[in-house]
Chain A
């Protein structure tokens, strides 16, 4: 782990745009990745299955195109974004709301494993001394740092009052583009993101292609051509995970026919069970 100040040549250049850049910035990992092209992907802890899927898809697409994904390693959308980037064999950086040593010591389970994977592929970053514990205000402060580390910021799912909105606000102040993923009306988890779009503070992000277009990149992986029936299943599942009965009703097919299509898609890894028996796109 190293701590570097703004004068250091390895200091991430985009952070210098901040009014008061973190001094020192603690980095556990490779400092070089912090200067590469990057997108900040943020969202709520209380994500829905939709947020989980979109977060992963966007991150995986960025990773595929060679763009680093910056996020905050919180539960929910942040973790989904890191996870998606790692699955896309890309680099990803987590900006922590606590000292790095303190975070690694206190976190257990899946996020701890994720933290080690992120350190191996990119870096863990914190503006707080290694041993300092998290406080309420440290999260708000690191939200600003996340905004500064990315060329642009995408808010995946955010309720009103979410920390992701602080990141969006900071990105706006820095003059970086802000995008928000629109969500269904009436779902609390998307209310903040929809409000960003409504107030003109963010542009609506319509898909992976749009994000790559903004970054002036080509999709590294061309969309697969699916046979008609499989494409229809994937279409129906795009909005939300469904149980097999509902899927069959939507498609107007029998359970047997749907089962056969679903089995093919599952085996190819295009869809998966959500853990409660419903099917979701991956």
Chain B
């Protein structure tokens, strides 16, 4: 086009001539959804096609990925057999004051342009999510589940997404349509080729757990502690020489945790969706997550972060368990970042562009050797560590972190002749007790908003964990002689409350307190 020779004459006419047809200036609106962490907001993608120098401008605080969408959208529209309007195209992402991230807006922008330029003849009322390829193919995006759920709550009736995301969208309670390309979307909207709504995906079969408590010989006290951890949501530390089954015990925890309820399943699945870990066939989790990051993990991978922020292992373990094997080998600064999620049950990642909050309510299972070589106090092996090495090694778990660990148990070497013991309890039986205990907690704590005993505040401990005067006197003596800190005292009572719940007792009995003292973490 001889642009250089005839500078912008049509433009002048467009602005000055009031007689141009109104259709050329119509604004199209398509609904999309923005995501910050797990926080969501509906975004109206407004597209205006006006006369002017051919250009595609995106406004409304787009980030770099959204800016790049311009090139993909332009190519996708052309390669899908449509015209890209050779006029000035303005895309506004409203509300304009918050930064928009990621590639999920591309389908909405493309449909808006087609609508505004008169190539799509119907309005789009559904939520549109998807990334476009240059050839017009539709690609899946992260975080489909929380975005569609948000739209569903706001009354958006349907969602148009990529095939791979259709299952998760359907699980959110809207009519969900999956497509392979932009062309298919347009054909569907105009009624030429109707696509059937994606059915709600079937729930995955009840999960098979790799380790059952019945596989583990001996270890009565550690098993008892695991049961208490599962029932009361208490964090637990397993200490023992190498090869005594710490990892197996930790793995067995998943098999005794209560099943996910619907709200928990959606919450945990949403985090997996944001991380892009959703299984398209079974988008809603049925098993509690069990995350076991390696001890070389950086704090970014553990608590999340990056730009744009991504959820870390603590959030992927939401509603499940986080297992830190060889916890003393983790770098200290990484371990210290666990304090916030352990305290707040959520993690906030602040960046210049805004803060993202991810949920992180998990049971922490940590395992470590008693000393660097692993044989401290072992009757059969000589330990090669100096006392101050051992102190440093154990010091890796700083006080504030240790404060959040209610149970600390020794996992001893099981003598060979006991490895073949019979009559071991199966996980299913233990899980029944855990479920019953959780039910007692639910009834008791209904008014407080807490779910498990581990979350009880100090005043709630006073209310729900009263003990008889003899035990009270015993504990008072321990606190008086500084053998038990005030914090340790409350921790003992919380664990004792769970032990009583497991035994089906309304009151906290002496033996529950005794057991809690046996399993408590601070000396």
Tell me whether B301 is interfacial, beta carbon within 8 Å. no
B146 interface residue (CB < 8 Å to A): no
A245 touches B221 (CB 8 A): yes
B108 part of interface (Cβ distance < 8 Å): no
* Stretch from A13-21, A122-130, A264-272 at the B interface: A264-272
Given A187-B382, A269-B481, the answer on whether A276 and B220 have CB atoms closer than 8 Å is no
The verdict on A255 contacting B517 (CB below 8 Å), with A49-B377, A188-B382, A278-B377 known, is: no
CB <8 Å contact, B511 and A260: yes
Q: What chain A residues lie within 8 Å of B218 (beta carbons)?
A: 245
Whether the pair B387, A276 counts as a contact (CB closer than 8 A) is no
Which residue of B411, B477, B519 contacts A267 across the interface (Cβ within 8 Å)? B477
Q: What bracket does the count of chain A residues touching chain B fall in?
A: 35 or more
Mark interface residues in A235-256 (1 if CB within 8 Å of B CB, else 0).
Answer: 0000011011110100000011
Across-interface contacts of A110 in B (CB, < 8 A) = 388, 391
Q: How far is the CA of A269 from the CA of B477 in the complex (A)?
A: 10
Knowing A46-B384, A46-B386, A278-B410, say if A263 contacts B391 (CB, 8 Å).
no
In angstroms, how far is the closest chain B Cβ from the Cβ of A98? 16
Judge whether B385 and A243 touch: CB under 8 Å. Answer: no
Q: In terms of DSSP, what is the predominant structure of the interface of chain B?
A: mixed
State whether B475 touches A267 (Cβ < 8 A): yes
Q: How far is the CA of A278 from the CA of B519 in the complex (A)?
A: 10
Partner of A240, one of B219, B240, B379: B379
Q: How does the 8 Å CB contact mask read for B277-308 relative to A, with 1 for contact and 0 for none?
A: 00000000000000000000000000000000
Known pairs A245-B218, A255-B224, A259-B518; A277 contacts B410 (CB<8 A): yes
Mark contacts of B404-422 with chain A using CB atoms, 8 A cut-off: 1 yes-contact digit, 0 otherwise. 0000111110000000000
The complex places the Cα of A244 from the Cα of B412 at a distance, in Å, of 10
Pick from A111, A267, A274: contact of B517, CB under 8 Å: A267
Nearest chain B CB to A174 CB, angstrom units: 29
Among A48, A260, A267, residue most surrounded by chain B Cβ atoms (within 10 Å):
A267
Residue of A with least CB distance to B224? A255
Q: When chains A and B are docked, how far (Å) is the Cα of A109 from the Cα of B382?
A: 26
Q: Interface 1/0s, chain A 19-49, versus B by CB < 8 A?
A: 0000000000000000000000000011111
Interchain CB contact (< 8 A) of B410 among A243, A256, A262, A263: A243
Set of chain A residues within 8 Å of B517, measured between Cβ atoms: 259, 262-263, 266-267
Interface residues of B in 496-523 (CB under 8 A from A): 510-511, 513-515, 517-520, 523
- Chain B nearest CB from A122 CB (Å) reads 22
A275-B523 CB under 8 A given contacts A240-B377, A263-B517, A266-B483: yes
Q: Please tell me if the beta carbons of A246 and B412 are within 8 angstroms of each other in the complex.
A: yes
Contacts of A188 in B (CB 8 A): 382
What residues on A are CB-neighbors of B391 within 8 Å? 109-110
Select from chain A the residue with minimum beta-carbon distance to B241.
A276
Q: Is the CB of B474 within 8 A of A45?
A: no
Question: Is A76 interfacial (CB 8 A cutoff)?
Answer: yes
Residues in B with CB closer than 8 Å to A111 are 388
B8 to chain A, nearest CB (A): 76
State the Cβ distance, B514 to closest chain A Cβ, in Å. Answer: 4
Across-interface contacts of B112 in A (CB, < 8 A): none
Name the B residues within 8 Å of A94 (CB-CB).
Answer: none
A132 within 8 A of B: no
Give Cα A264–Cα B387 distance, bound, in whole angstroms: 29
Tell me if B433 counts as interface (CB < 8 A to partner A).
no
A109 touches B518 (CB 8 A): no
Flag if B475 contacts A259 (CB, 8 Å). Answer: no
**Chain A residues near B481 (CB, 8 Å)?**
267, 269
Q: Name the residue on B nearest A280 (C-beta).
A: B377
Write the nearest CB–CB distance from B331 to chain A, whole angstroms. 20
CA distance A255 to B218 in the complex (A): 13
B residues in contact with A145, CB < 8 Å: none
| Cβ-closest chain B residue relative to A262 | B518
Q: Is the CB of B523 within 8 A of A276?
A: no
A206 within 8 A of B: no
B57 lies within 8 A of chain A by Cβ: no
> In the assembly, what is the distance between CA of A241 and CA of B410, in Å?
11
CB neighbours of A269 from chain B (8 A): 481, 483
Q: With a CB–CB cut-off of 8 A, which chain B residues contact A49?
A: 376-377
Considering only CB atoms, which chain B residue lies closest to A261 in the complex?
B514
A75 at the interface (CB under 8 A from B): yes
A167 close to chain B: CB less than 8 A: no
Nearest B residue to A269 by beta-carbon distance?
Answer: B483
The A-contacting residues of B in range 211-231, CB under 8 angstroms, are 218-221, 224
Kindly name the residue among A111, A188, A256 whose own CB sees the greatest number of chain B CB atoms within 10 A. Answer: A256
Task: State the A residues within 8 Å of B (CB).
Answer: 45-49, 75-76, 79, 109-111, 187-189, 240-241, 243-246, 248, 255-256, 259-260, 262-264, 266-269, 272-278
Taking Cβ atoms with an 8 Å cutoff, the residues of B that contact A are 218-221, 224, 237, 239-240, 370, 376-377, 379, 382-388, 391, 394, 408-412, 474-475, 477-478, 481, 483-484, 510-511, 513-515, 517-520, 523
Would you mind naming 17 contact pairs between A and B with Cβ atoms under 8 Å apart? A49-B377, A75-B388, A189-B382, A240-B379, A244-B410, A255-B220, A255-B221, A256-B514, A259-B511, A259-B515, A267-B477, A267-B481, A269-B483, A275-B394, A276-B408, A277-B411, A277-B519
Given A272-B523, A277-B239, 16 additional A-B pairs, CB 8 A: A75-B388, A79-B387, A111-B388, A244-B410, A245-B412, A256-B514, A259-B511, A259-B517, A260-B514, A262-B518, A263-B513, A266-B483, A267-B483, A275-B394, A275-B523, A276-B377
Closest 9 CB pairs of A and B: A277-B410, A263-B514, A276-B239, A259-B514, A243-B410, A267-B478, A276-B370, A263-B517, A260-B514
